[in-house]
């Protein structure tokens, strides 16, 4: 067999097959072809020495905003992924049924990075989110578009992986949980998962998770008070534990206002790890406090979560949430995406959304990305030697 690319000698961490070993990974025809020691290429094979680095399945950032130019909060997916090791950016509700066609044609189809999307139930998605103009798109119930959302979701099942709704004092205001109930009807009708955002109460955390079905995702799960998942005693609220037992997935969605070290410490002390780690990158948090996926992952590393679990939360678990098992894995036959990571030791300053600083001793950085079986971002390939 002729391989297009071989990553040689890295520490391959692939939680989808419980693999953590120094070995090679080969790609052919856009897919993972083989994992094993001593793989040989021929004259046409791009062979990269990644010894000393970590090879993981391509990172999936489950919560991003990449409708660049179409929405004020959108960032450029390729720029973002180049620096943060992400091969699949899942956009969560930037577009609704009224403007999804532009997102698809002008952004998703032109992007070398994979973009999947949760479709917002509000007609124009998150249309007024900036430093000076902030209008909760879920508050105005005339904007709720369940029939259009069903049509658009069904017409774009190759890229739409779920339905998005934002509820909270900022996002849905006086409409409370009504937009969530409408979005659940859409999700039921199209047979896709729902991702729900929460911000400040009302509605409270318990009211929101109580409505979610197995496989639905609560994002901003480790947010600060008010509406944290923890009690004043530092335990996990019973409704949160009950929702996990029922199969609800808990996503980080760091963003500008949705991740606190205090909450994360308490959750991890209770052995309640996030199912998925995501950045919620958008224009108001890409320059801090969220920055990107690898920074968000680094925070969890410094808080004591084991590296293989952090990689699982950014690969296999995210693939499970979007029901795309061909992503987030290096099993032969999987989509040929991989991320080359390094873990640097030192003293690093991290900050959360309430301004708390954490001095960490490690930092995860992206050293390279493989998309569809090809080395993708040569501009940033300095750490890896071409052999």
CA gap 334, 312 in Å, rounded: 16
Give phi and psi for 209, each to the nearest 5: -65, -30
| Helices and strands (DSSP H and E) totals, the chain | 10, 16
Give phi and psi for 380, each to the nearest 5: -125, 30
Interface characters, 362-381, with Zn ion (x: CB under 5 A): --------------------
Best CA proximity match to 92, nearest among 201, 194, 245: 194
Least distance (Å) between residue 19 CB and Zn ion: 32
Q: Does 216 help bind Zn ion (rule: CB under 5 A)?
A: no
Least distance (Å) between residue 200 CB and Zn ion: 15
Interacting stretch for Zn ion, rule CB under 5 A, among 102-110, 156-164, 187-195, 276-284? 276-284
Give the largest Cα separation in the chain, rounded: 65
Q: Does 61 help bind Zn ion (rule: CB under 5 A)?
A: no
Whose Cβ is closer to Zn ion: residue 25's or residue 321's? 321
Whose Cβ is closer to Zn ion: residue 208's or residue 330's? 208
3-state class (DSSP) for residue 373? coil
Interacting stretch for Zn ion, rule CB under 5 A, among 21-29, 96-104, 179-187, 278-286? 278-286
Whose Cβ is closer to Zn ion: residue 223's or residue 324's? 223
Cα three-residue angle 54-58-60, rounded to 5 degrees: 125
Q: Does 280 help bind Zn ion (rule: CB under 5 A)?
A: yes
Interacting stretch for Zn ion, rule CB under 5 A, among 42-50, 280-288, 330-338, 354-362? 280-288
Whose Cβ is closer to Zn ion: residue 24's or residue 280's? 280
Separation in Å, CA 80 to CA 3, 76, 278, 282, 288: 28, 6, 13, 10, 13
Cα three-residue angle 79-335-99, rounded to 5 degrees: 50
Least distance (Å) between residue 293 CB and Zn ion: 14
Whose Cβ is closer to Zn ion: residue 280's or residue 367's? 280
Interacting stretch for Zn ion, rule CB under 5 A, among 28-36, 279-287, 294-302, 348-356? 279-287
Instruction: Copy the structure tokens of residue 282.
Output: 């958008």
Residues near Zn ion (CB under 5 A): 280
């Amino acid at each position: 067999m002729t391989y297009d690319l071989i990553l040689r000698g890295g520490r391959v961490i692939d939680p989808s097959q419980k693999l953590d070993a120094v070995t090679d990974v080969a790609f052919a025809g856009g897919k993972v072809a083989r994992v094993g020691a001593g793989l040989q290429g021929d004259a046409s094979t791009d062979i990269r020495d990644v010894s000393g680095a970590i090879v993981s399945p391509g990172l999936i950032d489950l919560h991003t905003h990449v409708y660049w130019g179409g929405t004020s909060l959108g960032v450029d997916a390729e720029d973002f992924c180049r620096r943060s090791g992400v091969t699949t950016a899942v956009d969560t509700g930037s577009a609704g049924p009224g403007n999804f066609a532009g997102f698809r044609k002008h952004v998703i189809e032109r992007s070398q990075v994979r973009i999947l999307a949760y479709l917002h139930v509000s007609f124009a998605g998150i249309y007024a989110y900036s430093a000076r103009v902030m209008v909760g798109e879920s508050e105005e119930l005339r904007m709720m578009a369940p029939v259009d959302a069903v049509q658009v979701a069904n017409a774009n099942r190759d890229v739409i992986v779920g339905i998005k709704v934002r509820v909270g004092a900022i996002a849905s205001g006086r409409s409370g949980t009504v937009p969530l109930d409408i979005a659940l009807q859409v999700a039921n009708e199209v047979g896709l998962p729902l991702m729900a955002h929460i911000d400040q109460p009302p509605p409270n955390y318990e009211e929101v998770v109580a409505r979610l079905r197995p496989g639905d995702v609560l994002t901003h799960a480790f947010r600060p008070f008010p509406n944290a998942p923890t009690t004043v005693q530092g335990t996990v609220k019973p409704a949160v534990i009950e929702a996990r037992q029922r199969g609800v997935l808990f996503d980080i969605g760091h963003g500008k206002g949705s991740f606190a070290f205090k909450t994360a410490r308490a959750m991890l002390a209770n052995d309640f790890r996030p199912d998925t780690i995501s950045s919620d990158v958008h224009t108001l948090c890409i320059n801090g406090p969220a920055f990107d996926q690898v920074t968000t992952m680094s925070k969890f590393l410094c808080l004591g979560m084991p590296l293989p679990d952090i990689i699982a939360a950014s690969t296999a678990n995210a693939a499970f949430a979007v029901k795309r098992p061909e992503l987030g894995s290096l099993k032969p036959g999987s989509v040929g995406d991989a991320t080359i990571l390094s873990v640097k030791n030192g003293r690093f300053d991290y900050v959360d959304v309430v301004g708390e600083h954490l001095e960490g001793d490690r930092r995860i950085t992206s050293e390279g990305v493989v998309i569809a079986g090809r080395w993708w971002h040569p501009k940033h390939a300095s750490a890896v030697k071409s052999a």
